[in-house]
Amino acid sequence: MHWCSIESESSIGCDCGVVGSDEAATTTMQLHFSPGMRSITISTNNNGFIDLMKIKVAARHISYRTLFHTILILAFLLPFVFILTAVVTLEGVNKCSSFDCLGRRWGPRLLGRVDDSGQRLVRDFYKILNQVSTEEIPEDLKLPKSFNQLISEMKNKKYNAKDFALMLKGMMERSEREIRESKFSELMNKHFAASAIPKGIYCLSLRLTDEYSTNAHARRQLPAPELLPLLSDNLYYHFVLSTDNILAASVVVTSAVQSSVKPEKIVFHVITDKKTYAGMHSWFALNPSPAIVEVKGVHQFDWLTRENIPVLEAVENHFGIRNYYHGNHMAGANLSEITPRTFASKLQARSPKYISLLNHLRIYLPELFPNLDKVVFLDDDIVVQRDLSPLWEIDLGGKVNGAVETCKGEDEWVMSKRFRNYFNFSHPLIAKNLNPDECAWAYGMNIFDLRAWRKTNIRDTYHTWVKENLKSNLTMWKLGTLPPALIAFKGHVKAIDPSWHMLGLGYQNKTDIESVEKAAVIHYNGQSKPWLQIGFEHLRPFWTKIHEKHLNCQGNSFYHFSSQFTIIWRNLCCVMTVLDSTNLWFEDGKFLVKKALLVGLFVRYKSSAAKVLPKFMKSSSELIAVVMAPTVGHSMVEH
């Protein structure tokens, strides 16, 4: 049996007891609560023994330190809560304007759950895009011309997701097509610009040709008679340059001489065609060099006959070949299946220079120079920046051609050329005889051992493969004269240090300037030649500094025509236009003009005209020096 009694005075007491079936087993427990003293006393009477247990209850009070910490925490938390609430409100001001909405937005995040409605929307959109990607755009679908027009049509016509995806796909395909067409047009225009002759170079050639016929100094023998034996002296450093570009030839020769430790030991054999011979001879005759320079035309080599070069005669005169290089370059090209880079390489391969005999002459060096043991062959688009005489000390190990390999290097575009980049390995003859992974090498700066060359059949191999390519309608390779040389010199090439020859300055815009400065020879191979306006601006100075220095040499005012004479010639053309429009013509080398037409003459070029023009304007009876200021010329043409 249980019982309990409570007494209350200043303290609260409670007596509880348990009585069992046995009268002797009686237990009494007393609890005393003392609110004033904040204590609880528990006493038990167990068979006459009293046990006391006192529990002290600590007083609860808030200290100033706790209050300070609480306020400090709230000071940090409340601004964050305020900013977070403001951001959420601004983001969803149009969709969510109540605390209930905020709860729906942020409740799951606070509880660790993320709303995946946005992800579902993205997944659904991806599904629609994948579906549309396999569908064709309807021919009658009218595509918006701009993004704003697309948005406007979506609002007005209430497009669904699939219609929007179709519109988007159609607009993207149209943009890609226009970009590709624009890129191909740019490449085509660049190809024609690279194939053209700049006006300044053309005028220089004409002027020098005229000088050759009228100036005895321009016709003087090159080299002087007493130096002729040195042309076959193997103790000298012999360079061969084959070109019809007078200005480029002057830069090559000048840069090689300036970079040489012993320029007087250099012999340059400059080979050009018949139409450029007079101008080329005039240039080097009127601009003597410390080096020995020989200028010869292809017509002056007895060995270069039709019987010895029948294949190249066929290349130059074959109608199909001429049409390939001079015809419509866009014909037969599927622009939708070809990359711009591949198209650019094909255009470069169709440059007219590749059917010029000058570009094939290097294969006949042993026959053209029978008394020489070693020569360095240079292209006309290079600049020499270091002494090249150590090239003659390189041990070629019985090989014929010392060249830089183009399959190894930091530049993945320029220095990644293997046989697969030059040949069509779907052709059975190519696949049978060549390895697509074989490393290619570069033309432009090569050291040739002519003694070793004469023991080989390199020339015959070259002719054989050129003939096979003609039979296959030019389907075996695409890039000019290097592919047949890669085959002909196979097994006869010695790799030299890449620092001797740096390539790609004519088509790699991202060429490292520091590497350019360190290279012995820099090569502007590609379409962006340094003498063209399409040349890369940051790479042209390495060429133009030689060009300008040479043209501005003391005593060479005749050749300082690139800026002054261009303006003079333009104004002179204005005079000729006026004379032609007024039916006033030449008679006995004199102008029959009225005094009114002479107003403004020598306005701008009073001092220089009398010095410069007599060298450019000559007639049978007298020199004519006529110059007009640009403003006068334009006003006269307008009238």
- Backbone φ and ψ for 477, nearest 5 degrees, come out as -155, 170
| CB proximity list for 381: less than 8 A, separation 6 or greater | 248, 444, 506, 523, 524, 525, 529, 530
On whether both 426 and 532 belong to a single domain, the answer is yes
Domain boundary among 135, 158, 193: 193
* Domain end residue (candidates: 521, 551, 581): 551
Q: Is residue 99 part of a domain?
A: yes
Q: Who has greater pLDDT, 90 or 252?
A: 252
Tell me, what DSSP letter sits at residue 584?
-
Quick check: pTM over 0.75?
Answer: no
Question: Domain of 168?
Answer: 120-193
Task: Give the torsion sign (CA, 209, 211, 215, 221).
Answer: negative
The pLDDT value recorded for residue 263 is: 96
CATH number at residue 547: 3.90.550.10
Indicate whether 568 belongs to any domain.
yes
Same domain, 435 and 448: yes
Domain total of the chain: 5
Q: Are residues 494 and 357 in the same domain?
A: yes
pLDDT band at 608 (very low <50, low <70, confident <90, very high): very low
Residue 226 lies in a domain: yes
Q: Report the pLDDT value the prediction gives residue 560, as an integer from 0 to 100.
A: 43
Q: Are residues 517 and 574 in the same domain?
A: no
Q: Are residues 472 and 486 in the same domain?
A: yes
Q: Which of 145, 178, 193 delimits the end of a domain?
A: 193
Residue carrying structure tokens 């194939």: 195
User: Is 558 within the bounds of a domain?
Assistant: no
Q: Are 375 and 240 in contact (CB under 8 A)?
A: yes
Predicted confidence at residue 227, as pLDDT, reads 95
Residues 80 and 164 grouped into a single domain:
no
pLDDT digits (tens, 9 = 90+) for 178-221: 887 777 777 777 767 777 778 888 888 889 999 999 999 999 99
Q: Write out the two tokens for 558.
A: 């005749």
What confidence tens digit (pLDDT) does each residue in 331-377 have?
555 555 666 666 666 666 566 666 678 888 999 999 999 999 999 99
Number of separate helices (H) and strands (E) present in the chain: 22, 16
For residues 434-462, one letter each, b for 16 or more C-beta atoms within 10 angstroms of the residue's C-beta and e for the rest, the string is: beeeeebbbbbbbbbbbebbeeeebbebb
**3-state secondary structure labels for all residues of 151-194:** HHHHHHHCCCHHHHHHHHHHHHHHHHHHHHHHHHHHHHHHHHHH
Please answer whether residues 131 and 162 qualify as being in contact, where contact means their C-beta atoms are separated by less than 8 angstroms: yes
Same domain, 526 and 605: no
Domain shared by 264 and 174, yes or no: no
What are the tens digits of pLDDT across the range 62-96?
A: 677 787 778 878 777 777 777 777 766 665 555 55
pLDDT value at position 42?
A: 60
User: If DSSP codes are grouped into helix, strand and coil, which group holds residue 539?
Assistant: coil
* pLDDT-based confidence at residue 114 (cuts at 50, 70, 90): low
Residues 85 and 131 in one domain: no
Query: Mean of the per-residue pLDDT values for the chain?
Result: 75
Q: Is residue 243 part of a domain?
A: yes
The reply to whether 224 and 87 lie within a common domain is: no
The pLDDT, as a whole number, for residue 449 is 98
- Residue 351: inside a domain: yes
Name every residue whose Cβ is closer than 8 Å to that of residue 341 and which is 6 or more positions away in sequence: none
Residues 576 and 628 in one domain: yes
Residue whose C-alpha is closest to residue 291's, from 384, 194, 223: 223
Q: Is residue 131 domain-shared with residue 178, that is, in the same domain?
A: yes
Residue 618: the pLDDT is: 42
Would 556 be classed as within a structural domain?
no
Name the residue among 270, 268, 272 with its Cα closest to residue 292. 268
> What are the φ and ψ backbone dihedral angles of 612, each rounded to 5 degrees?
-85, -50
Domain membership flag for residue 557: no
